[in-house]
């Protein structure tokens, strides 16, 4: 059994990681300032003796006493609207937050896992993205608060590894989806599924020809655990190479939900990457990891989650006969 700190543990991805760690017998100290994370995401762990939620902003303090074996840094707003609303906080958690968590790992001799992002590749000119690609990021554009915070966090992590001998791992997480996404948080899957269930127009930005590659949360968390348990430093891409256009995703969501929502085109956000797909050769080779949940299956499970949250909507409660009919 290990004692693991999960910063950002009440977030979408962090809460699934906490679940898996507790389930396998680890003790988890979850730190979250609940700015975009939600206490509800870890409610199921509340009564568990091996789980503690500490409400704190790791950019200001890391209130953890005693020894720890691993520190996982997943603390950051992750949805574009969320980080664009919190530019300074996003830069702070990528810089000061990362430094504080690295110092905790150094003090305890713990392994440090940084949740970085495919956003470090910006609007990529190399496709699919390999870890050796250095990216195409506008350092002063609106998205830079997230992209550059994560790039800085990677640099800080490697500096602590080189100069202070901290045992580190960096994963670059590609778009991930599943239960516990905040409804309508601005990310493509939460927006589309909630819109479809509510019978509202599906908002496709631009002409929908931009691509993303979506990884189901259980696959992603399995990848996080496998690198945590390894001695690999990385950076390693963790994502599903099943690349789709955003318009295709909208159509898939309509099929899976059975919704009759229309597709409404809206303006493309500034610097929205035109394509994104991970090359996962390294993760396959070094970790034996690859995703296994097909997109239709993952969207179906995600739909069930959102449907249970919004029973008052006409499509919001799965019917016993076919799924989500208009009745
Ligand atoms: N997107 C969209 N409609 C929405 C939300 C997102 O068309 O309601 C597009 C967005 O412009 C981007 C892709 O879906 O091209 C993925 O967006 P998301 O915010 O999930 O993550 P990103 O990969 O941009 O960080």
Going by the DSSP 8-state scheme, the letter that residue 129 receives in this structure is B
Helix (H) or strand (E) holding 233: none
Nearest residue (by CA) to ligand 1, atom 12, is 272
Among 122, 302, 289, residue whose Cα is nearest residue 197 = 302
Among 118, 136, 116, 139, residue whose Cα is nearest residue 126 = 136
Position 184 scores a pLDDT of 83
For residue range 200-217, list pLDDT tens digits in order. 999 999 999 999 999 999
For residue range 179-191, list pLDDT tens digits in order. 999 998 999 999 9
Among 182, 194, 187, 177, residue whose Cα is nearest residue 261 = 194
What's the rounded mean pLDDT across residues 27-49? 97
Q: Is the pLDDT of residue 313 over 70?
A: no
Q: Is the pLDDT of residue 322 over 80?
A: no
| Ligand 1 binding residues, C-beta < 6 A | 79-80, 175, 186-188, 191, 203-205, 210, 212, 246, 268-269, 272
Nearest residue (by CA) to ligand 1, atom 1, is 188
Q: What is the CA radius of gyration of the chain?
A: 19
List the catalytic residue out of 83, 121, 146, 216.
146
Position 1 scores a pLDDT of 77
In testing the pocket of ligand 1, which one of 90, 184, 187 has its CB within 8 Å of the most ligand atoms?
187
What CA–CA distances, in Å, run from 314 to 88, 113, 174, 182, 200?
40, 42, 32, 20, 11
Residue 177 annotated among the catalytic residues of the structure:
no
For residue range 155-175, list pLDDT tens digits in order. 999 999 999 999 999 999 999
For residue range 76-131, list pLDDT tens digits in order. 999 999 999 999 999 999 999 999 999 999 999 999 999 999 999 999 999 999 99
* Separation CA 256–CA 236 (nearest Å): 31
* Sequence ranges of the domains in the chain: 3-175+214-238
Mean pLDDT of the chain: 94
Among 127, 123, 117, residue whose Cα is nearest residue 135 = 123
Write out the CATH class of domain 3-175+214-238.
alpha beta
Share of the chain above pLDDT 90, in %: 94
Q: Is the pLDDT of residue 315 over 90?
A: no
What's the rounded mean pLDDT across residues 58-82? 97
Contact (Cβ atoms closer than 8 angstroms) between residue 189 and residue 181: yes
Q: Is the pLDDT of residue 319 over 60?
A: no
* Separation CA 227–CA 242 (nearest Å): 21
Position 123 scores a pLDDT of 96
Position 310 scores a pLDDT of 84
In testing the pocket of ligand 1, which one of 195, 212, 261 has its CB within 8 Å of the most ligand atoms?
212
Q: Is the pLDDT of residue 325 over 60?
A: no
For residue range 216-242, list pLDDT tens digits in order. 999 999 999 999 999 999 999 999 999
Confidence of residue 148 (pLDDT cuts 50, 70, 90): very high
């Amino acid at each position: 059994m290990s004692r693991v700190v999960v910063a950002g543990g009440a977030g979408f991805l962090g809460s699934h990681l906490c679940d898996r760690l507790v389930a396998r017998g680890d003790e988890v100290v979850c730190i979250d300032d609940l700015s975009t994370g939600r206490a509800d995401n870890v409610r199921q762990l509340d009564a568990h003796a091996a789980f503690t939620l500490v409400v704190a902003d790791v950019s200001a303090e890391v209130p953890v006493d005693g020894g720890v074996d691993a520190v996982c840094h997943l603390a950051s707003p992750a949805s574009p609207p969320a980080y664009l609303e919190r530019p300074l906080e996003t830069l702070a958690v990528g810089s000061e937050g990362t430094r504080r968590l690295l110092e905790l790992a150094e003090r305890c001799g713990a392994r440090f896992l940084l949740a970085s992002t495919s956003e470090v590749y910006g609007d990529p000119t190399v496709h699919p993205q390999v870890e050796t690609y250095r990216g195409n990021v506008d350092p002063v554009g609106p998205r830079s608060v997230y992209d550059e915070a994560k790039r800085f966090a990677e640099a800080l992590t490697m500096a602590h590894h080189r100069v202070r001998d901290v045992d580190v791992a960096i994963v670059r997480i590609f778009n991930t989806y599943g239960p516990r996404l905040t409804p309508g948080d601005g990310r493509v899957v939460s927006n589309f599924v909630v819109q479809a269930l509510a019978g509202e127009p599906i908002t496709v930005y631009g002409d929908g020809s931009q691509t993303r590659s979506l990884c189901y949360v259980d696959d992603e968390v399995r990848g996080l655990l496998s690198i945590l348990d390894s001695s690999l430093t990385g950076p390693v891409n963790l994502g599903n190479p099943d690349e789709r256009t955003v318009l295709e995703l909208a159509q898939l969501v309509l099929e899976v939900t059975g919704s009759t929502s229309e597709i409404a085109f809206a303006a493309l956000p500034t610097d929205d990457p035109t394509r994104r797909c991970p090359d996962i050769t390294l993760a396959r080779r070094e970790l034996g990891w690859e995703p296994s949940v097909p997109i239709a299956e993952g969207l179906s499970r995600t739909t069930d989650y959102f449907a249970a949250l919004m029973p008052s909507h006409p499509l919001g409660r799965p019917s016993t006969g076919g799924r989500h009919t208009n009745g």
